[in-house]
Chains A and B, each alone.
Chain A
Amino acid sequence: MTTRYALVVKKDCPTCALIEPLIPLLAEQVDGGLSVYVQDDPAFPGNFDAIDDSELEFSWRNEIEIVPTLLRGDGANCERVVGWDRAEWRKFSGIGDLGEDLAPHRPGCGSRTLEPGMPEKLAARHMGFGARKVELAAAEDDMETCFERGWTDGLPVVPPTPERVLRMLGGTDREAGEIIGEVPPDRVPCTIEKLAINAVMAGCKPEYFPLVIAAVKAALDDRFCMHGLLCTTYFSSPVVIVNGPAATQSNMNSGVNALGQGNRANATIGRALQLIVRNVGGGLPGGIDRAAMGNPGKYTYCFAEDESDPDWPSLAMDRGFEREDSVVTLFAGEGLQAIVDQQSRTPESLAGSFAASLRTVAHYKLFGLADAILVISPEHRRVLREGGWSKTDLREALYDRLRVPGQQILRGADGVAEGMPERLRNKLLHKFRDDGLHIVSLGGGAGMFSAIIGGWIAAGERGSQPVSQRIE
């Protein structure tokens, strides 16, 4: 027999105590009878045999937010009144003189299903997951288990419990089961839920999750060539650059030590991408990852650009987006090389320093192989600004300074065997392919230092091209 009415209460609620005397009357008079579910003390109410819902399953399944809630019917046809409102209860129950002695109106209390942490706990208990569950033995340490199963990059991870994964999934509107693409090298279809599990392990907050999703989408774009980038013996790996409001909203660092440690968003968003390639894609160092040396950025390499100067276009704007767009750009890059210039007070002089340093990317005599990112500090940006140079002026000056006659950089020139092939002797060679030099700005206010992030020596269509992805 289906119960037509159900009442959800808890003892620890003055409004539930207020309506307690009405319960036997309701049970007697409403059509189809009444079931009472109590969230805390099964001895309550004292005048009626209630069903113990201290595990909160009934309350959770019926999305109870307030107690008391009086329900009629079930499923999609379920109607309800919440709190105590005499007129509404009379209409709802069909009992014309219900609660004559009570105050006409009292708000209810919060349902126990909404206590802090409880929604995730209940969802984890009652909802299904796509990922299989790994049950640990009583004596197993959850952190050590993650190491033993090969799930970590060598640093501890946050154990991916169902509750944490559900909270992470709360960071996006996408369905947990949505397939976002195939992750190399194993080319495994990857769900949003798998991304969430790895984002938990990396230490992300749910609010970072849309950035992780965008970074993964960019990595899976064929132009980025994630598979080849992973396999290469070269140093390079994904570098994640964030532009737009999402960077500020996530409290990312684009200032002092922006390329270093210490900021949770910078550290964990980049790490999540690496863990996804490792765990979902199966890209393990020494396995498919054949890097001769690697680089420390393979733990995480993620930062935001300083966008405080409205006259300085961001990397995302260079790539066709607007200032107000939130964008993740992936670049196949290696470690960091410093450019010290504490003497230049004119843009021309500074451009000379930049160009001479940029020439050494990969090798001073190898041209057109690797892209690069030039990372300009605020103090160097000031020199450019005071000299009246825009970003475009700088780009053009660098272009001019990074062209050399082929004969200067041939194999064997300077007594160095490495270099360009003989057939290029009479060509004018460019250090970077067209659109191969990217410029970002970040860093603390003190220090006349800029930096270079060299790219993979398979840049462009034969290897990796930078990919930008809007954060949604």
Chain B
Amino acid sequence: MTNATLLDPTAELQSAERQLTPRLASLSGATVGLLDISKPRGKEFLDEVESLLEEQGAQVKRYSKPTFTRVAPTALLQQIGAECDAVVEALAD
């Protein structure tokens, strides 16, 4: 199947590429979620990330996926979206 082509309906003031979500201006006072995907040693890695983030004034919340083999459940994604300003997903092994 060939890839679809669409014509841009906008005034083309922005890049045709998909836009990134706006970045945080500062970590100070931000709530950052750390998502452990449940691979071995993910906890140790995230403990380190957590202390680095806290040094910069961020408040950290920890989450984990039930299994690394599947995408995170919708309820967990919604919870992180509602509670956090940013999220770091940990890959470890």
Residues of A within 8 A of B (CB): 129, 131-138, 140, 142, 145-146, 148-149, 151, 159-162, 165, 183, 186, 188, 190, 193-194, 197-198, 201, 275, 279-282
Q: Are B8 and A188 in contact (CB-based, < 8 A)?
A: no
B8 x A131 contact (CB < 8 A): yes
Assuming the contacts A148-B18, A149-B18, asked whether A136 and B3 have C-beta atoms less than 8 A apart, the reply is yes
**Min distance, Cβ A26 to any Cβ of chain B, angstroms:** 38
Q: Is the CB of A161 within 8 A of B9?
A: no
B5 CB contact (under 8 Å) in A161, A190, A275, A282: A161
**Is the beta-carbon distance between A133 and B3 smaller than 8 angstroms?**
no
Distance in angstroms from B3 CB to nearest chain A CB is 5
Residue in B1, B3, B7, B19 whose beta carbon sits within 8 Å of that of A197 in the complex: B7
Query: Given known contacts A145-B6, A159-B4, A280-B11, what 5 new A-B pairs fall within 8 Å (CB)?
Result: A134-B16, A151-B10, A160-B7, A161-B6, A280-B10
B4: which A residues are within 8 A, CB to CB? 135-136, 140, 142, 159, 161
CB pair A280 B9 closer than 8 Å: yes
- B13-A142 in contact (CB<8A): no
Enumerate 13 A-B pairs (CB-CB under 8 Å) in ascending A order: A131-B8, A134-B6, A134-B7, A151-B10, A160-B7, A161-B7, A186-B11, A193-B7, A275-B9, A280-B9, A280-B11, A282-B10, A282-B13
Min distance, Cβ B71 to any Cβ of chain A, angstroms: 14
> Contact: B9 with A282, CB < 8 Å?
no
Task: Report chain B residues within 8 Å CB of A186.
Answer: 11, 13
Closest residue to A189 on the B side, CB-wise?
A: B11
Do residues A133 and B10 form an inter-chain contact, with CB atoms below 8 A?
Answer: no
CB–CB A282/B8 < 8 A: no
* A148-B18, A149-B18 known; A188 vs B5 contact (CB < 8 Å): no
B12 at the interface (CB under 8 A from A): yes
Whether B6 and A160, one on each chain, are in contact in the complex, defined by CB atoms closer than 8 angstroms, is: yes
Distance of A146 Cα from B3 Cα, bound (Å): 15
Alpha-carbon separation in the docked complex, A87 to B7 (Å) = 49
How far is B12's CA from A275's CA once the two chains are assembled, in angstroms? Answer: 15
Interface residues of B in 7-60 (CB under 8 A from A): 7-13, 16, 18-19
The reply to whether A279 and B3 form a contact with Cβ atoms under 8 Å apart is no
The smallest beta-carbon distance between A183 and chain B, in angstroms, is 8
C-alpha gap A72/B28 in the complex (Å): 77
Q: Which residues of A contact B12 (CB under 8 A)?
A: 131-132
Size of the chain B interface, CB-CB below 8 angstroms: 15
Chain A residues with Cβ below 8 Å from B5 are 133-136, 161-162
What residues of chain B lie closer than 8 Å to A194, measured between beta carbons?
9, 11
Give CA–CA (A259, B3) in the complex, Å: 39
With A138-B1, A186-B13, A282-B13 known as contacts, the answer to whether A133 contacts B18 (CB < 8 A) is no
Residues of chain B within 8 A of A280, CB atoms compared: 9-11
Q: Which residues of B contact A188 (CB under 8 A)?
A: 11, 13
Complex Cα distance, B6 from A146, in Å, reads 9
A188 to B14, CA, bound (A): 13
Residues of A within 8 A of B6 (CB): 133-134, 136, 142, 145-146, 159-161
Q: What are the 5 tightest A-B residue pairs by CB atom distance, in nearest-first order?
A: A188-B11, A279-B9, A131-B7, A197-B9, A136-B4
Contacts of A162 in B (CB 8 A): 5, 7
CA distance A275 to B10 in the complex (A): 10
Chain B residues, CB < 8 A from A133: 5-8
Q: Which residues of A contact B16 (CB under 8 A)?
A: 132, 134
B69 CB to closest chain A CB (Å) equals 19
**Min CB–CB distance A378 → chain B (angstroms):** 39
CB-based nearest B residue for A163: B5
Which residues of chain A are within 8 angstroms of B3 by Cβ–Cβ distance?
135-138, 140
Complex Cα–Cα for A162 and B7 (A): 6
* A416 CA / B1 CA spacing, docked (Å): 67
Interfacial chain A residues near B9, Cβ < 8 Å: 131, 151, 160, 194, 197-198, 201, 275, 279-280
Find out whether the CB atom of B10 lies under 8 angstroms from the CB atom of A279. Answer: yes
Nearest A residue to B7, CB-CB: A131
A197 to B12, CA, bound (A): 13
CB proximity of B42 to chain A, nearest CB, Å:
27
- A129, A134, A151 interface centre (most CB from chain B within 10 Å): A134
Closest to A194 in B: B9
With a cutoff of 8 Å between Cβ atoms, the chain A residues found around residue B7 in the complex are: 129, 131-134, 160-162, 165, 193, 197
Contacts of B18 in A (CB 8 A): 148-149
Chain B residues whose C-beta falls within 8 Å of the C-beta of A148 in the assembled complex: 18
Q: How far is the CB of B77 from chain A (nearest CB, A)?
A: 16
The CA-CA distance from A45 to B43 in the complex, in Å, is 72
Please give the distance in Å from B81's CB to the nearest CB on chain A.
15
